[in-house]
Structure 1
Amino acid sequence: MEPQSFLKSAAAGCAATLPMSVWMLAAQHFLLPGRERYPLPPEQITEHAAEAVGLDTVAENEPALKAATVFNHFAYGAAAGALYAPLRSLPGAPVVKGMGLGLFVWTGSYLGLLPATGLLSSAKHHPARRNALMIVAHLIWGGWTGVLAERKR
């Protein structure tokens, strides 16, 4: 597999984080009841990570936390997007392969990696509506990642 395949997939994952984020913010505002409108996982994860490495000034400063959250979310989207590279050679529609990757990333992150690192509690402990919001967000991200990674140009 060529290195540019991973780079193109990573760039696709980074770009796909934008429509994902738009969905997350809109759904948080319009679809969640007031008691569930607390910060979304990317912000919670960034705050916990900053605290874990002693960057309390970031965790406690709203503008710095928001900026770090945006950076981290897009960087994670790029890193996870690189995982699409091996899927490019498989048969099937890019959007479907990408959505499968999105579900894989959500499952691995929210039920495995994040709880294991202590950055976020397991999805099993989150409200069902917030989990649904995040699953749909990852389907959007994955679908866009697949389409952009296999785009001819």
Structure 2
Amino acid sequence: MRAERIATGSVGGALATVVMTGWMVARDLTGPHGEQAPKKLVRRLARRAGLPARRRGPGTVLASGVAHLGFGVGAGALYAAAVPRSTIPRGVAFGLAVWGVSYLGWIPAIGILPPAHRDEPRRAWTMLTAHVIYGAVLGQILADRAED
């Protein structure tokens, strides 16, 4: 049962990441927000490996999408393993925790972006709200699955 729940969390994390990414893409309609963390991280790693990493290159876009999806899948699995009874509010709290650990923690620590409170305000707001969306979707998927 635990392995099944973690697998469900992984799938839920993937679906939540897709919905979250839709929100992140839609934010472009309101004007420039600056490059997002997944793309900046992929470009940095590619440069260190001696690979081309154009900002809008198809390889960069694909690799950053895969990296972001993989992170979302892993986070979904972690949520499923750590939270025995999912609800939307618990999912949102988890999404906010992922945002905090990322945008106030490891992302600024490795120099990808400044901490959220010093970042471009529209990007910071988009990422905060995107993680709320991620958590709500993930929380709902696992709550629904528990009813089966």
Aligned to 2:138: 145
Aligned to 2:43: 47
Q: CA deviation at 1:151?
A: 2.4
Change (3 A) 1:55 1:9: farther
Q: CA deviation at 1:67?
A: 0.6
Out of 70, 88, 93, the position equivalent to 1:95 is 88
Alignment partner of 1:66 is 2:61: yes
Residues in 1 aligned to 2:139 and 2:129: alpha-carbon distance in whole angstroms: 15
Change (3 A) 1:120 1:56: farther
Residues in 2 aligned to 1:80 and 1:55: alpha-carbon distance in whole angstroms: 29
Aligned to 1:79: 74
Change (3 A) 1:56 1:63: same
Q: CA deviation at 1:87?
A: 4.8
Q: CA deviation at 1:37?
A: 3.3
Structure 2: gaps spanning 5 or more residues: none
1:75-121 CA deviation, whole Å, 9 max, x = no partner? Answer: 0111111121145424xx62111100000000001111222233333
Aligned to 1:128: 121
Residues in 1 aligned to 2:73 and 2:100: alpha-carbon distance in whole angstroms: 17
Structure 1: gaps spanning 5 or more residues: none
Match of 1:89, SS state, is: coil
Q: CA deviation at 1:145?
A: 0.8
Change (3 A) 1:124 1:50: farther
Amino acid at match of 1:10: S
1:11-30 CA deviation, whole Å, 9 max, x = no partner? Answer: 11111111101111112322
In the alignment, is the contact (CA less than 8 A) between 1:99 and 1:140 conserved in 2? yes
Aligned to 1:26: 26
In the alignment, is the contact (CA less than 8 A) between 2:6 and 2:77 conserved in 1? yes
Match of 1:138, SS state, is: helix
Q: TM-score, normalised by structure 2?
A: 0.85
CA RMSD of aligned residues (A): 2.1
